[in-house]
Structure 1
Amino acid sequence: MLDLSLELVLILVAAAFAAGFVDAIAGGGGLITVPVLMLAGIPPTQALATNKVQGVFGAATAAISYARKGLVDPGQQLGAAAVAFAAGLSGALFVTSIPTQALYYFLPVLLIAIALFFAFKPGLNDIDRTRRMSPEMFTLSIIPAIAFYDGLVGPGTGAFLMLGFVMLAGYGVLKATAHTKLLNFASNLGGLVAFAAVAKPLWLLGGLMAVAQIAGALLGSRLAARIGSRVIKPLLVVTSSALALRLIWQLL
């Protein structure tokens, strides 16, 4: 681990707790942890790799918590999770060979559109609606595309998955949130496998942050399961908007 002071480590651990809480409800935890890791003096690629270390634990915790509440059956998602793992691994392997700068110009527009959709679209609640795409087609098209993006870039993956489940799979907001977590775990894990080979993640720091991620994810998923779309929608709007503004700031 880098020569980090105790105060800085505690700040990183606190950031991981907040990220786990936010990510379990609406996605976007990386919006909190990646900038803090880089502000701590960790090089960008190594910060992304370390973020994957702690992120997989938060996503796994949220997935387990939602499954225990009966909101998702992980057994039915194993095939989709395998696809997400392979796509996340592929995205991370291509991170140095695909020009990603163009994505950073497009992402703020897409994230703001997602925020506006969830803020103003009438009838978005926890009730399922008409399915517009078969589960098989969703698994073979939407999931690998978003998971590849997760390995390649990462920000906003949870929001993109949630939008896909709501708009195309016909899920209610809470059910959509629950179904994103195992897939986000799988794509994170795939990215971590690739990053571990080339980016030298800080395993000890990532492990410390993972403990806080688990605690935050437990709290966030339990709150979301109890309150549903009333807490998920506002937090999704806030995190998507904040991520868009941060990306715009970076570009400027």
Structure 2
Amino acid sequence: MIDITLDLLLLLMAAAFAAGFVDAIAGGGGLITLPVLMMAGLSPAQALATNKVQGIFGTGTAALSYAARGLVDLRSQWRSALIAAGAGAGGAVLVSAIPTEGLRLILPVILIGIAMFFAFKPGLNDLDRTRRLAPLAFAMTVVPFFAFYDGLIGPGAGAFYMIGFVTLAGYGVLKATAHTKLLNFASNIGGLAAFALVGQPLWLLGMAMGAAQIAGAMLGARLASKVGARLIRPLLVVTSTVLACRLLWQMI
């Protein structure tokens, strides 16, 4: 059991606030909180589990904030959310049974590709475009695939949800962000349920960080709702690139 001093708690809460702000706009909040939790002395499993605890506060707040602004209809998306929760739990349960090293090797390349897509693809704005996949087909294929990944590995899940909504569901960037937060929240809930059985999360620490996540997520969602794609696109490019670089650095 680590000793959580007041200084360490404030540092972790500051990291959670920053993560909530960034994650509400473009995803990638785990880039901030997970390394800080591990530097604080938590084991990898405990850090992952505690990160899920605090993360659900941020993604849940962002989802509700976007819903309150009419950007996502929670009543029409509950089935997709249930699918995401189940798939996220499945990924977390199998985290020690499925070899993920091959996926980790190609993940930086995929993330750099996503960053380049959002950086250079013309016409990416907040307007909806042609839908390439029916809502039911999207919910039955794309949603569980990315949610399973979220439970299994995690980093980059928000970017994957985003590109799925933009390229296949035909959503504008802001609408895609809103729906990404809802499914992120659902797959995080599922992942936390599984991790809680094996990862021994620090619940009080996670909830304290969660309070800071709420504040950051509210601010981020409000700003993204006002500015839209002009803010979301560059921040998504930055977070995807930073995550790719971090993964490459871990391989060295």
**TM-score per shorter chain, which class?**
over 0.9
- Distance in 1 between the 2:13 and 2:235 partners? 21
**CA offsets per residue over residues 38-74 of structure 1, 9 Å max, x none?**
1111111110000000101111100100011011101
AA aligned opposite 1:99: P
RMSD, matched Cα? 0.7
Q: Which residue of 2 aligns with 1:86?
A: 86
What residue identity is the alignment partner of 1:114? I
Percent sequence identity is 67
Alignment of 1:156-235 (within 5 A): 156-235=156-235
Alignment-derived partner of residue 154 in structure 1: 154
Superposed CA offset, 1:115-168 (max 9, x none): 000000000000111111111110000000000000000001111000000000
1:18 matched to 2:35 = no
Q: Secondary structure at the match of 1:133?
A: coil
The runs of at least 4 aligned residues of structure 1 exceeding 4 Å deviation read: none
TM-score by length of 1: 0.99
Stretches of structure 1 that go unaligned for 5 or more consecutive residues are none
Secondary structure (helix, strand or coil) at the match of 1:127 reads: coil
Structure 2: distance between partners of 1:12 and 1:108: 27
Residue 239 of structure 1 aligns to a residue in which SS? helix
SS in 1 for 2:117: helix
Amino acid at match of 2:15: A
- State the Cα distance separating 1:6 from its structure 2 match: 1.7
Q: Which moved more, 1:168-177 or 1:6-15?
A: 6-15
Matches of 1:106 and 1:46 in 2, distance apart? Answer: 26
Aligned match of 2:7: 7
- Aligned mates of 2:217, 2:94 — CA distance in 1: 29
Q: Unpaired segments of 5 or more residues in structure 2?
A: none
Opposite residue 63 of structure 2, the aligned amino acid is: A
How far 1:5 sits from its partner (Å)? 2.2
Q: Distance in 2 between matches of 1:9 and 1:54?
A: 13
Compute the displacement of 1:185 (Å): 0.5
Q: Which amino acid letter does the alignment assign opposite residue 108 of structure 1?
A: P
What pairs up with 1:64-75 in 2 under 5 angstroms? 64-75=64-75
Q: Secondary structure at the match of 2:222?
A: helix
User: Take 1:203 and 1:215, find their aligned partners in 2: how far apart are those partners?
Assistant: 19
Match of 1:35 in 2: 35
Mapped to 2, the partners of 1:75 and 1:219 lie a distance apart of 24
Give TM-score scaled by structure 2 length: 0.99
Q: Which amino acid aligns with 2:8?
A: L
Q: Which amino acid aligns with 1:204?
A: L
Alignment of 1:251 with 2:228, yes or no, is no
Q: Which residue is 1:125 aligned to?
A: 125
The alpha carbon displacement at 1:182 in A equals 1.2
Query: How many angstroms does 1:102 deviate by?
Result: 1.4
The residue type paired with residue 129 of structure 1 is: R
Q: State how 1:93-132 maps to structure 2 within 5 Å.
A: 93-132=93-132
Structure 2 residue identity aligned to 1:13:
M
Displacement of 1:181 in angstroms is 1.1
In structure 2, C-alpha distance between the alignment counterparts of 1:36 and 1:101, rounded to whole Å: 23
Secondary structure in structure 1 of the residue aligned to 2:47: helix
Equivalent residue letter for 2:206: G
The offset of 1:178, in angstroms, is 0.6
Alpha-carbon separation, structure 2, partners of 1:18 and 1:189: 21
Displacement of 1:7: 1.3
Give deviations 1:169-202, integer Å, cap 9, x for gaps.
0000000001111111110000000000111000
